[in-house]
Amino acid sequence: MSPKIESLDQNIAFLWDSLYYWAEKKLSLEGQELLVSLMLEPYGDMIDDLSNCMSADEIKGFRINGSMTVGRLNQVLETIYDWALKIDWSKKSTNARAWYISEEKLEPRLGERFEEDIADYEQPLQPGRDAAALSKALSTWNDHQQIAAFLVAHPEHRHTVRRIQIVSRFEYAEIRDNTIDARMLPIDLLRAKLAFFGACHFDPRSDRWVRINMFKDAPFPHELTNQETDDWTYPTLKPQT
């Protein structure tokens, strides 16, 4: 049964704001995300253009905290990337793939590192491997030394240090798996990404792309006035056969 909204005053000045704070207390994370999507839906003229500014300049927005000690960075690294430190990165199978940007569509693409000439174009989309390399480089430094000094000597690790300091703030900020492993399927990452956009039905066509359905079971305009349409976002579960 859906939670009942009992404490909202319909005459308050900021009804949507109150509804959202009610959801924070009463709904799951998935329920909160769904409610936010429904609240945004009527205001296309206000939000449609926002998609053009969704990219993030991490170098500008997240300055590296150079005063952090090597010991503290190691603690964070070992907490978030403990899984990466257990991988044998000397194996070809764990480094089999490489991400690069396509020239035509400027989109991430995945290639075979040892079969294609793409190593020079590789993008920093293998955080596990980079974290393990950083951990090895830090092993010769004293815990009390500052990261600023370390990065002066090893600037090649700047992007990894920045990433670690960013993801340490957010519980769900990192995909904790080897994104360049021979067994990794891009479709798994794609499904996770598309779910954030409201995709609710997936039809895989290969291990590299998937066809989706947006707003599955949503009513058509002519159906809004002649049937109950409040629950279309909760698809009916089919009985097991």
Chain segment 203-224, per-residue pLDDT in tens: 777 766 667 777 777 777 777 7
pLDDT at residue 115 in the model: 92
pLDDT, the chain, mean = 84
pLDDT confidence bin for 136, thresholds 50/70/90 = very high
Q: Give the C-alpha separation, 160 to 150, whole Å.
A: 13
Q: Which of 176, 180, 181, 205 is nearest to 192 (CA)?
A: 176
pLDDT at residue 57 in the model: 73
pLDDT at residue 236 in the model: 65
Selected residue with higher pLDDT from 179 and 2: 179
In 109-201, alpha helices (H): 127-138, 147-153, 158-167, 186-196
- The yes-or-no verdict on residue 1 having pLDDT over 50 is no
pLDDT at residue 226 in the model: 75
Contact 158, 64 (CB under 8 A): yes
- The yes-or-no verdict on residue 237 having pLDDT over 60 is yes
Q: Give the C-alpha separation, 20 to 171, whole Å.
A: 21
Structure token pair of residue 232:
């279309």
Give tens-digit pLDDT for 152-187.
Answer: 999 999 999 999 999 998 888 888 899 999 998 877
- The yes-or-no verdict on residue 142 having pLDDT over 60 is yes
Q: Which of 176, 148, 165, 172 is nearest to 74 (CA)?
A: 165
Q: Please give the share of the chain, as a percent, with pLDDT higher than 90.
A: 40
pLDDT confidence bin for 241, thresholds 50/70/90 = low
- The yes-or-no verdict on residue 229 having pLDDT over 70 is no
Give tens-digit pLDDT for 108-117.
Answer: 788 899 999 8
Domain chopping of the chain, boundaries? 1-55, 58-184, 185-236
Return the SS3 of 200.
strand
Q: Which of 203, 235, 200 is nearest to 214 (CA)?
A: 200
Question: Count of alpha carbons within 13 Å of 93, Cβ hemisphere only?
Answer: 4
pLDDT confidence bin for 149, thresholds 50/70/90 = very high
Q: Which of 40-44, 74-78, 188-192 has the lowest mean pLDDT?
A: 188-192
pLDDT at residue 62 in the model: 85
Instruction: Say how far residue 11 (Cα) sits from the centre of its chain.
Output: 38
Q: Give the C-alpha separation, 213 to 202, whole Å.
A: 7
In terms of average pLDDT, the best of 57-66, 69-78, 169-178 is 69-78
